[in-house]
Amino acid sequence: MLTFNALMALAIPLVPRALVQKASRRYIAGSSVGEAVARIRELNALGCTATVDVLGELVADLRQAERTADEYVEVLDALHAHGLAANVSVKPSALGLLLDEARCEQSLLRIVDAAARHGNFVRIDMEDASCTQREIDLFGRLRLRLRLRHANVGLVLQAYLQRTYRDIEPLLGPGQNLRLCKGIYVEDRRHLVDGAWQDRRAINAHFLHHVGRCFDTDTFVGIATHDAELIDSVMALARHRNIDRSRFEFQMLLGVCEPLRDRLLQAGFRVRIYVPYGKDWYGYSTRRIKENPQIAGYLVRAMLRR
C-alpha cells in the first residue's frame, strides 16, 4: 500500500484541480483574509498561536510584489482587529527580492512598521540557497534601520546547510528571535557556500546543536519540525539545561502531524501553526500532498472512481 501511495504521489499533476483544492483545505486556510482569520480563531481556541503566510512567492513584476506587501498590511490589521494571537511570515522573493532588492527592502520595512503599530512581529522566511546570503544581508540592513525604532523582526535558518554554523552566531543574543528548521530544498550546488547535509536523520544532530546555541545565549527560538524524535531531543535538552518554556516554542504546518501538535499542547509547550492562505494555493497544495503519499493515494482513487 505504501508503494502504491508513493507512486500515486507522482500522479498528482493528473488530478483535477477541484479535487486537489478539496484536499488542500487541510493545509491551506482559504483564499481570503477572512478565511485565514476564521482558521486562526479555531487554532487559538485550541491553545495554538499562528503565523500567517500569504501564498505567492513567484512574482512576475514589482507591481505584483507591491500588492503582496499591501495584503500583508491588511492581514496585520485584521489580526489586530480580531484580537488574534498570530504574527506573519514573509518570503522576500514574494516582495521582489529577485527583481529589485531595494524595493523589496522598502516593502518589507512597510510591513514591519505596520506590525509595530499593532505590537506584532514579522518573520523573514528563508528560501533556497540562491537566496540565503541575500536574505541574511537584507535582515542585517533591516536591523540597522530598525535599531532606533523597533526590533520586531526575526530570521529563519536551515539546519541542513553547513554554513548555518557560521551564519547563526551574529543572530544570537538576548532579545533576538530565531526560527530553526531542517530545510526542504533540493539545492543547486552552484549556490552552496559550504554544502548541505541531505540525510534527513543526520541533520538532527546539527539542528540540536543550533538549538543549544540559542539556549546558551538567551535567544528565543522557534523549533520548526514535525520530527518526533528531534522534538523529544529538544525537550530533553531543555530539561537538562533548565530552560524555561517561555524561551522557545514548537512550530508546525497547518494540517500536518496534528496528534503530535496536541501532545505538545497537552504537555504545556507553546505551539505555533504556520497558516498559509491565498489565491496561489495549487503549488503549495501539491507540495504538501506529495509529502503525504496517503493523501495522494486517496486523491487518485477518488479521481478513478469519478
Q: Do the beta carbons of residue 210 and residue 248 sit within 8 Å?
A: no
Task: Supply angle C-alpha 59, 61, 66, rounded to 5.
Answer: 80
β-strands 248-253, 271-277 pairing: parallel
Distance CA 157, CA 135 (A): 10
Which one from 53, 125, 167, 227 is the annotated catalytic residue? 125
Q: Do the beta carbons of residue 76 and residue 114 sit within 8 Å?
A: yes
Among 169, 99, 181, 162, residue whose Cα is nearest residue 134: 99
C-alpha cell at 100: 529589485
| Annotation says 201 is catalytic | no
| Annotation says 41 is catalytic | no
Which one from 39, 123, 163, 179 is the annotated catalytic residue? 179
Q: Do the beta carbons of residue 253 and residue 273 sit within 8 Å?
A: yes
Q: Do the beta carbons of residue 96 and residue 67 sit within 8 Å?
A: no
Q: Do the beta carbons of residue 121 and residue 72 sit within 8 Å?
A: no
Written as one string, the DSSP assignment of 14-43 is GS-HHHHHHHHTTT---SSHHHHHHHHHHH
The residues that are catalytic are 125, 179
